[in-house]
Each structure stands twice: as C-alpha cells, then as structure tokens.
C-alpha cells in the first residue's frame, strides 16, 4: 500500500531515490541539502536500500565525478547539492551531459556567495543553464518525489540519455514538512523499468573507452567508418534535449495514469488561466506564492492567471507561445538575475515569444534574492503596477526590484549611492 | 617483498595495440604496458587529463584493450571510487580490478584531494602515479613533483626553488596497506609490484608511484630513456621500496644503496639532462643533500 | 560509425565512445628517422635458440618487438626511438638512417 508520510522536501527526495531503487549515491553535505544525504545514509545503514552503495566523498566535485563514473559502469545514480557545492561541481556538469549519462541531481536551491547566504535563491540553478542538463522544478514536497521519479524515466530514455536536475527551494521546501504519498515500489517499477546500460564499462566483450579527446572534424576510423567530431556530439546533445520535451510529456502522462497525480502537461502548470487576460510567469517558491496573488487579484476584478514553469531545459517555447497567445500582459518574477541584463525567466520568455503573432507585453521583476521573503501582496502589487506601465517591452535600462529595504540605509540615500 | 620475475613469466599479449599517439621513447607508455600486463584484461581504468589521455587515443578508436573512463584533471580517484561502488552495486566487484592512473600533476597537485579521500575511504582500487616530474602534456610546466633545480617552462631561468613532494610518505600517513615506488626502467620489478597490488584486493587503496622519464621534458636523447631512469635509481635519487602493511622494505635494485659508497655520483644522473643544465655548484650540493637526507630517513626504517 | 560491435544506442544518439583498434595514431612507423635492424648473427636468443634475453622486447615502449626466436620488429608501427639498440647487451641491433641504402635490404 502506498503510505502518506509527513516529509521534509529533502526527505521526499531521499524517499524517491529509494522508490527508484537507486544503486549508487555519492554526495557531500551542504546547507540546505544535507538532510538528503543524512536520510539516504540512514536508509543504507538500516538495510532499507539493499545493494545500494553510498560513497561519502570528500567534496561535491568528487561526488559528481563518482556518480558519472558509476553511471558509466552501469548503476542508477543519484547526487544532490546546493549553491557553492553545485558551483564546485560545475566542471563535471557538461561532462555528464557530454558522456550522455542519466545522472539525477537534486538542487536544494540557495543563493551563491559572496556574501555568504544559506537561504533560498534560484541563482545556483540558473547558473547551470548551458550545461546540457534537463532542468525540472518542484513547487511542493509531493512534486519533489514525483519529479525525481520522472527525471529518471526521462533521463534513461534511449532517445534522450541526458542528466537531469530536480530543483526545489532551500528551506521553503527542503526543511518544511508536508504530506507526501510514497508509492509502492512495485508500482514505481511499472513506471520506471531497470536502467538499460548504454555505456556499461563492465561489458568486457565490447571493451570501450569513454569521453576521449575529440577532433574538430570526424576522423576516418577504417573498418569503423567515420567517428563523430565534437560538433556532431554537441549537435546530438541539442537534438536530444529538444526531443526530450515530448518524452517528458509522455512520461508525465503515464505517471498521472499510474499514480493519479499530474502537473499541468508535464512541462508547465497553470492556475486559473482559462479566462485570464493577464498572466504571472514564475517558478518554484515564487510560483507557489503567486497562486495566492492570483486569488487576491481576481477578488479585485483582474482576470489574472499563473503559468508555473516546470521544465526550464529544454525550454518549452512552443507551449509558451500557445498558452500566452490570448494574454495581453505577462508579469515575470525572477528570484535571480542574469547579471548585467535582467531576470533569466523574463528574457528567456521574451526570446520565446519573439515575433509570435499575438505578442503580450512582458514586464520582469527581481524578487526575494538571498531568502528575502516575497509575499503574495507584493506579487499582486507588481502585477498592478505593470498593468499601468506603457511600453514595457522596451529594453529595460534598469531592472525593477520588489522587496528591497533601501529605506533602512539612510547613508546610501544621502550619498546618492546604490 | 615482491618475488623476482623473469621476462618469460610475463604475459606475452600486449594490452596496448601499437601505433599510439605518444612520443617515441615514452617511459610512461612503457610503464603502462607492464601495468596492464600485470592487471590483466578484467581491469577498468580511470584516466584524468594527462599523457595517459593521449595514449588512450582520440574519438572512435583506442589502442588500449581494457575499458577506460576519461575524466577531468582532478577527479581520477573519485571516478575510480564511483566505478568501485558501481561494481559492488552490480555484484561484479570480486572479479574486476579498478586502476586510477594519473600523472604527477593529477596526483600530487590538483588530484591530491580526491586521492586523499579515496585513500581514507579504503576504496578497493590501485592508484598509480606515473611521475614524469612536470606538466608534460601542457608543455613542461613545473609541478609539485618537479625536482629542485630543474628548468621547466615556468621555472625558465632559476630552475625550481623547492624539492619534490614526498608523495609516498603522504600516502603512508593515510594508513594504506600497500605503497610502492617503482621506475619504468625496471619493468620486471614494476610488473611484480602491480601483481602484488592486484593480489591485495580487498585491502583498500594500494598506491604505486612510478618514476617515468620524459625525453622531451627532461631533455635527453630518446634512446637514453631506460638509462636515465636507471641512473635515477643507481644514484639514489629515486629509491625503490615497498611499504607492506606499514613495513618498509627496499627493492632489490635499491637495497645496497643504503651504503652511500654504493651510489653512483649524482652528477651522472644530472649531466645528460638539459633540465639540469643551469645547476650551480650550490644547487648541485643541495640536491646531494636531498639524496643524503632521503636515505638517512630510509635507513632508520629498514633492516639492513 | 557503422560496425557490428557498436551498441544500437549509439546509432540513435552520439556518445563519445572509442573501441580498441591497431594504429590509433596511424602507421607510426612513418615517424621513424632511424630504423633498427636486428643482426641475427649477434643476437643471443638466435645464437642459443633459447629465450634467454628478450631485453629488446622488454624495453620497447610501443611493444613492437616480438618475444620470438628470432625477434622481429613491426616496422609499420616502430617509431625508431633507438631504445632497443641502446639496451641490447650484445650490440645486435644496428640503427640505420631511414631511406638509406642499407636500411632496405629487401
């Protein structure tokens, strides 16, 4: 029988590993991810994860290197990190994607230092953007559990074979208890068949090297024909990422059929978008808070809805064009900044809707950096302000922030500083 | 101590197919040739950025007849740890040997954290440092393992100002079951040490540090590759020993060198190498002192 | 890359895999400027008919000298480093300039 447990977000991720029969885990503690590591250690030592090897490495860099190696050897692998730990893994992130290994990595999202901050902020997730990974988000603890299972299913698809992130907010989800339905492992097996090795270093009948130096152009390998060049490998990664969108949707469809839970169409979720004229676009904790803002604004007579992005890479531009086609204004709330430009979600959405036939006005705000609380009232006010603006689509000369407390810094005002 | 091996005891089959991308006279390749003969076909290798990446070849084809995982410069020990864990997960750990093989940079500098972690965790693997005493693959820059006085492309005028790290002692501090030093010029001894390390499977990380002369990097004639390594041993500059479960024993070629008069003059080792061409008399004396100190330390530990 | 040894997966997606093949860097014998020539009349293995030396086999980094009686050299891949000639205790290996008259006895 499936059991409903009261779980922190981090523990939901650990339970998902257990349900997925993960064979090898390597991880290093960092706030706010550490409880994932602790819970999995508990499972392993209590004999609840038979056969699973947990390598307690001495750094995040070694964690990601070890799971990459174990994946190439033939195990289903898991790791998790946050902020600086994730940044320390960075060199190996394109390595996992370039080697086409279905590694799953949970990110308990946290602000990047300096200055030190252990609180939520999406900068760590978005800094991994161009590494070739599938990037998925979760808004609550049940969704963390479900997204980890889906991530394995998609990553291990023979037409995809790419690593995947499952990101959720540090503290807001990682350390907050919520009821989570943990499924029967046999039922999970139906959804997630055993990993089909595609590199499998232990196949001594077909000895192979993995990830060697690669030339700009394909060399002629005689009886083997031409070997791909670097350009072809990266083309293949991009095509697989593009294709993974339909794989994600299909996996999500099967998931909802088996388990009875669904998250929009698997790549984005909507709230009260049916008759909406105005839309909020956000992810993770900000999207969760925006649901309250939608209700609040609707009471004031504004027909607003929410689009919460579930899959950031591959970016579902076709879906977004479709959902925003009858929308006059989109207000985007980013809990990070593409420094020197604007919020990442904001500019990515603008790019996705470029030259679409019915282009809405798009206004972006930066909110909640480094764990600053962001309330539904602030989000609602942002929407209302955006609706009064003219020509919001012009290049933003300055980004707009909601929730700054500059009034407490009188000296800054006095000196005209920033 | 390892048993002495004769040429005809070694498997004839080559695990590295000819026509590799490495320089002629590459002593690391010679060492690797015998390492793989010792470990046999049921070996999985992890390789960081190094000349070992070069021997493994470019996309599509490799000369090496065992499975290999390439990884980043600093992560070879962590990658090997991942392979070991996966083999246990798959129930294949008993039958397979895992080898991490890195250059001196990938061992004593950028790779030392991962290596220390893998050693502390008693990971069931063999770690080999093939030491050509500088970053040869990137163009002969100094490393933590470059000897005092050597000219490299980043110590171009003064030569290196510091002595090389004593990596075997650093590894001994981890409480390893097996540590050995070897030299590519003594393939039989090297082969025997890797066989020993393989036999000690299940006793955590076994560490072997192999001095491997690099003709372009050290500046000597190709044909002298064996002779230079031999002189490193015979002058006492590179002592060959094993530390088995804490007990140090000198290898056959080094045993008699405990007596300083049995050592060849260090000059014979330094003179043929262009990297030592700028040594002042004081620097030469410093190197002499280094050799003497090394042996004084050894003398306190071994039964003569 | 079409070959029976290639797993199906790698025909649908490209993964950076390499398979063992001789001459990964091509016929490295073309790198050679000096050709080693074994004089069997001086070779102790040939003279005694026993496997009592084979140092040329032992020290060849490329593994292109055979451990046979007589020893032979795979000139397709021998890079001509000269170690075998240097290390032969019986001076049975001569180094000849590549392309010179003596180097091509056949």
pLDDT for A393 equals: 56
In chain A, residues with a C-beta closer than 8 Å to the C-beta of C25 are none
> Does residue B267 fall inside a structural domain?
yes
- Beta-carbon contacts of residue A248 (< 8 Å; ≥ 6 apart): A134, A150, A154, A266, A267, A311
Choose the closest CB to A210 out of B70, B96, B114: B70
Percent helix, strand and coil across chain B, each to the nearest 5 = 40, 15, 40
Instruction: Decide if B17 touches C, using CB distance below 8 A.
Output: yes
Choose the closest CB to C81 out of B25, B61, B63: B25
Beta strands in A151-230 (DSSP E): 164-169, 178-182, 209-210
What average pLDDT does the segment B140-156 reach?
Answer: 98
B75/A62 CB distance under 8 A: yes
- The whole-chain average pLDDT of chain B stands at 97
Domain ranges in chain A are: 3-191, 268-415
Q: How many domains does chain B have?
A: 1
Say how many CA atoms lie within 13 Å of C23 toward its Cβ. 14
A232/C15 CB distance under 8 A: no
Helix (H), strand (E) at residue C37? strand C34-38
pLDDT for C106 equals: 43
Q: In chain C, whose CA is at the least distance from the CA of A234?
A: C14
Structural contact between residues A269 and A297, judged by C-beta atoms closer than 8 angstroms: no
CATH for A3-191 is 3.40.50.970
Interface test with A, best of B60, B65, B125 (most A CBs within 10 A): B60
In chain A, residues with a C-beta closer than 8 Å to the C-beta of C15 are 99-100, 161, 198-199, 210, 233
C2/A158 CB distance under 8 A: no
Instruction: Decide if B122 touches A, using CB distance below 8 A.
Output: no
Under the banding of pLDDT at 50, 70 and 90, the label for residue C4 is very low
B79/A209 CB distance under 8 A: no
Percent helix, strand and coil across chain A, each to the nearest 5 = 40, 20, 40
In chain A, residues with a C-beta closer than 8 Å to the C-beta of B87 are 73, 202
Q: What's the burial of A73, exposed, middle or buried (CB within 10 Å: 0-12/13-18/19+)?
A: buried
Structural contact between residues B77 and A243, judged by C-beta atoms closer than 8 angstroms: no
Burial A363-387 (b: 16+ CB within 10 A, else e): bbbbbbbbbbebebebbbbbbeebb
The residues in C 76-95 lying below 8 A from A, measured between CB atoms, are none
pLDDT above 80: residue B304: no
Choose the closest CB to B67 out of A23, A77, A207: A207
* DSSP reduced 3-state for A3: strand
How many Cβ pairs closer than 8 A exist between chain A and C?
69
pLDDT for B221 equals: 97
Interface test with C, best of B23, B24, B190 (most C CBs within 10 A): B24
C1/A221 CB distance under 8 A: yes
Write phi, then psi, for A251 (nearest 5 degrees). -60, -40
pLDDT above 60: residue C49: yes
Q: Considering all CA atoms of chain B, what is the largest pairwise distance in Å, rounded to the nearest integer?
A: 59
DSSP H helix total and E strand total for chain A = 14, 16
Measure C10 CA to nearest chain A CA, in Å: 8
Structural contact between residues B217 and B25, judged by C-beta atoms closer than 8 angstroms: no
Measure A75 CA to nearest chain B CA, in Å: 6
> Does residue B223 fall inside a structural domain?
yes
**In whole angstroms, what is the distance from residue C4 CA to residue A247 CA?**
28
User: What CA dihedral angle connects B193, B195, B200 and B206, to 10 degrees?
Assistant: 50
What average pLDDT does the segment B108-126 reach?
Answer: 98
**In whole angstroms, what is the distance from residue C66 CA to residue C60 CA?**
10
- Please determine whether the domains at A3-191 and A268-415 fall in the same fold group of CATH: yes
Closest CA to B272 of B212, B211, B231, B239: B231
**Structural domains in chain C?**
23-97 (3.30.70.20)
Write phi, then psi, for C35 (nearest 5 degrees). -100, 125
pLDDT for A397 equals: 63
What average pLDDT does the segment C75-88 reach?
Answer: 98
> Does residue B304 fall inside a structural domain?
no
C16/A99 CB distance under 8 A: yes
Instruction: Decide if C25 touches A, using CB distance below 8 A.
Output: no
The CATH number of A268-415, from 3.40.50.300, 3.30.450.20, 3.40.50.920, 3.30.420.40, is: 3.40.50.920
Structural contact between residues C57 and C67, judged by C-beta atoms closer than 8 angstroms: yes
B89/A208 CB distance under 8 A: no
Here the CATH number for the domain that contains residue B89 is: 3.40.50.970
pLDDT for A1 equals: 76
Name chain B's partners: 3 or more CB pairs within 8 A: A, C
C2/A224 CB distance under 8 A: yes
Domain span at residue B103 reads 7-299
Structural contact between residues A337 and A123, judged by C-beta atoms closer than 8 angstroms: yes
C13/A233 CB distance under 8 A: no
Q: Which residues of chain A have pLDDT under 70?
A: 391-397
pLDDT digits (tens, 9 = 90+) for B240-287: 999 999 999 999 999 999 999 999 999 999 999 999 999 999 999 999
Structural contact between residues A207 and A201, judged by C-beta atoms closer than 8 angstroms: no
Under the banding of pLDDT at 50, 70 and 90, the label for residue B62 is very high
A73/B65 CB distance under 8 A: no
> Does residue B126 fall inside a structural domain?
yes
Name chain A's partners: 3 or more CB pairs within 8 A: B, C
Instruction: Decide if B42 touches A, using CB distance below 8 A.
Output: yes
Choose the closest CB to B30 out of C26, C53, C61: C61
Structural contact between residues B52 and A49, judged by C-beta atoms closer than 8 angstroms: no
pLDDT for A198 equals: 86
> Does residue B1 fall inside a structural domain?
no
* DSSP reduced 3-state for A226: strand
Structural contact between residues B114 and B74, judged by C-beta atoms closer than 8 angstroms: yes
A57/B117 CB distance under 8 A: yes
Write phi, then psi, for B278 (nearest 5 degrees). -100, 10
Choose the closest CB to A69 out of B42, B46, B121: B46
């Amino acid at each position: 029988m499936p059991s409903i447990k009261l779980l922190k977000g981090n523990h939901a991720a650990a339970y998902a590993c257990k349900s997925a029969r993960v064979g090898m885990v390597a991880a290093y503690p960092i706030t706010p991810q550490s409880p994932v590591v602790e819970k999995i250690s508990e499972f392993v030592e209590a004999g609840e994860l038979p056969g699973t090897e947990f390598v307690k490495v001495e750094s995040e860099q070694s964690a990601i290197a070890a799971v990459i190696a174990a994946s190439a050897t033939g195990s289903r692998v898991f790791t998790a990190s946050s902020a600086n730990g994730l940044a320390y893994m960075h060199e190996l992130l394109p390595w996992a994607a370039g080697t086409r290994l279905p590694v799953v990595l949970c990110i308990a999202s946290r602000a990047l230092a300096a200055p030190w901050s252990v609180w939520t902020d999406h900068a760590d997730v978005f800094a991994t953007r161009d590494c070739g990974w599938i990037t998925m988000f979760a808004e609550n603890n049940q969704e963390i559990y479900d997204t980890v299972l889906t991530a394995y299913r998609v990553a291990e698809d023979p037409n995809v074979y790419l690593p995947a992130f499952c990101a959720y907010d540090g503290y807001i989800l990682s350390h907050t208890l919520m009821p989570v339905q943990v499924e029967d492992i046999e039922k999970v097996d139906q959804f997630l068949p055993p990993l089909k090795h595609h590199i499998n270093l232990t196949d001594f009948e077909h000895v192979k090297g993995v990830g060697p130096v690669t030339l700009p152009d394909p060399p002629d390998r005689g009886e083997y024909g031409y070997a791909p060049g670097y350009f072809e490998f990266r083309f293949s990664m991009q095509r697989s990422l593009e294709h993974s969108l339909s794989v994600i949707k299909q996996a999500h469809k099967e998931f909802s059929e088996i388990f009875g839970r669904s998250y929009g169409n698997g790549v984005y979720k909507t709230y009260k978008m049916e008759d909406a004229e105005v839309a909020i676009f956000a992810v993770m904790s900000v999207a969760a808070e925006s649901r309250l803002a939608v209700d609040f604004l609707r009471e004031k007579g504004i027909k607003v809805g929410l689009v919460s992005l579930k899959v950031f890479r591959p970016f579902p531009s076709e879906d977004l064009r479709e959902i925003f086609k009858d929308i006059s204004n989109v207000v985007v709330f980013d809990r990070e900044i593409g420094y020197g430009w604007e919020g990442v979600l904001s500019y990515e959405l603008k790019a996705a809707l470029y030259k679409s036939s019915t282009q809405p006005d798009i206004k972006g705000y930066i909110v909640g950096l480094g764990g600053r609380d962001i309330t539904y009232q602030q989000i609602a006010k942002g929407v209302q302000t955006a609706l009064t603006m003219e020509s919001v689509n012009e290049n933003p000369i300055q980004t707009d922030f909601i929730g700054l407390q500059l009034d407490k810094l009188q000296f800054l005002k006095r000196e005209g500083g920033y | 101590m390892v048993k002495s091996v004769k040429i005809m005891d070694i498997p004839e089959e080559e695990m590295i197919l000819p026509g590799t991308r490495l320089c002629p006279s590459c002593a690391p390749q010679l060492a690797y040739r015998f390492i793989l003969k010792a470990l046999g076909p049921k070996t999985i290798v992890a390789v960081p950025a190094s000349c070992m990446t070069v021997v493994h070849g470019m996309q599509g084809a490799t000369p090496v007849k065992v499975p290999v995982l390439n990884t980043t410069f600093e992560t070879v020990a962590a990658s090997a740890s991942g392979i070991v864990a996966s083999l246990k997960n798959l129930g294949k750990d008993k039958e397979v040997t895992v080898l991490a093989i890195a250059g001196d940079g990938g061992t004593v500098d950028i790779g030392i954290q991962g290596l220390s972690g893998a050693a502390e965790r008693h990971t069931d693997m063999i770690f080999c440092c093939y030491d050509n005493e500088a970053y040869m693959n990137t163009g002969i820059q100094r490393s933590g393992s470059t000897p005092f006085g050597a000219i490299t492309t980043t110590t171009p005028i003064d030569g290196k100002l510091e002595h090389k790290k004593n990596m075997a002692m650093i590894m001994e501090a981890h409480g390893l079951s097996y540590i050995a030093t070897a030299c590519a010029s003594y393939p039989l001894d090297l082969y025997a040490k890797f066989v020993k390390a393989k036999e000690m499977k299940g006793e955590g990380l076994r560490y072997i540090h192999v001095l491997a002369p690099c003709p372009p990097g050290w500046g000597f004639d190709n044909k002298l590759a064996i002779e230079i390594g031999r002189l490193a041993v015979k002058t006492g500059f590179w002592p060959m020993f094993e530390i088995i479960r804490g007990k140090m024993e000198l290898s056959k070629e080094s045993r008699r060198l405990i007596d300083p008069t049995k050592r060849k003059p260090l000059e014979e080792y330094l003179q043929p190498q262009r990297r030592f061409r700028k040594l002042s008399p004081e620097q030469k004396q410093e190197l002499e002192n280094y050799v003497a100190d090394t042996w004084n330390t050894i003398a306190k530990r071994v039964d003569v | 890359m079409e070959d029976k040894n290639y797993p199906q997966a790698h025909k649908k997606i490209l993964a950076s895999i390499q398979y063992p093949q001789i001459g990964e860097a091509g016929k490295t014998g073309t790198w050679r400027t000096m050709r080693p020539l074994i004089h069997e009349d001086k070779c102790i293995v040939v003279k005694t008919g026993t496997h009592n030396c084979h140092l040329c086999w032992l020290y060849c980094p490329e593994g292109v000298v055979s451990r046979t009686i007589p020893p032979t050299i795979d000139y397709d891949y021998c890079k001509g480093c000269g170690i075998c000639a240097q290390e032969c205790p019986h001076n049975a290996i001569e180094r000849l300039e590549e392309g010179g008259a003596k180097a091509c006895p056949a």
